Amino acid sequence: MADINLAFQGFIDSALSYISETLPAPFYSFLIDALSHCLALFTAIYTLVTSLLSTSPFEWNAQKILPPLITLFAAYLALLSFYRTTTWMLRTTVFFVKWGTIFGALIAGVALVMGNAHEHGLGNYDAMAGLGSIFLDLLRGKGRRAAARAWASGSRSHSRTSRTRGSEKRKPKPWESFERHREWKYDETQAEEDGADAQKVIRDILGGAGKLVKGSGWWNAVKGVMEGNAQADALGSDNKDGTKQHSRKSRSQTKAGGSRSR
């Protein structure tokens, strides 16, 4: 057993010496910390298992179980803390590298545009116009992509609604779910409200057109002509009635004179 331990220790020492010569110092220290935490966790698990298996279950007590358990929890928490710290450092490094690259590229682009404008004798206005055109191109590209996505989603939703429109318009059966009845009632109410809104819009349009026509001189001229024609018709009818009455009176007078002469 002692020979096995010595051989294992020699293998570990030779492996660590080779790794220390191959890897840089920060990576070597990181690897040593990770291996030490993992080894502590495995050692705690091995100690707990051996202590439980070496004794009978009837002989287990707090003095034999608690120390290996505490060691196991401590090793686990240390490894978890090391993992979280390492991942946080990696995320922070990636964040700074990413945004540093983005800002560096933007600053380099601005410097390139300004340098080209200065070399060609252009002013700040042309440089800003160039930058504005670049940003507008980017925004237009995003707008086109967003419009394409919206059109695709709209076509898919239209196809889905066209497939389910026939089933949604029919009145649900009494044995169908309450949710189906409520959706149908909501659709009917929405359709009625849309129809009322459309009728209100049409009435407003017709009313506005009538007010516009009545307020113009053309409407007053037409109205005056129509009223003049009506008055002329009324006067003509009155004159006809007067001539008829006058002829009747003259006829009666001639008849009376003839009877007297006889």
pLDDT 10s digits, 29-50: 888 888 888 888 888 888 888 8
Q: Are 113 and 130 in contact (CB under 8 A)?
A: yes
pLDDT 10s digits, 197-237: 666 666 766 666 566 555 555 555 555 555 655 555 565 55
Q: Give the pLDDT score at 240.
A: 54
| Residue 223 CA: distances (Å) to CA of 16, 213, 228, 229, 233 | 111, 11, 9, 10, 15
> Whole-angstrom Cα distance, residue 235 to residue 45?
124
C-alpha angle with apex 181: 179 to 187, nearest 5 degrees? Answer: 100
Binned at pLDDT 50, 70 and 90, residue 152 comes out as: low
C-alpha angle with apex 146: 143 to 147, nearest 5 degrees? Answer: 85
Binned at pLDDT 50, 70 and 90, residue 4 comes out as: low
> Whole-angstrom Cα distance, residue 129 to residue 71?
67
Q: Give the pLDDT score at 97.
A: 94
User: What is the pTM (predicted TM-score) of this model?
Assistant: 0.39
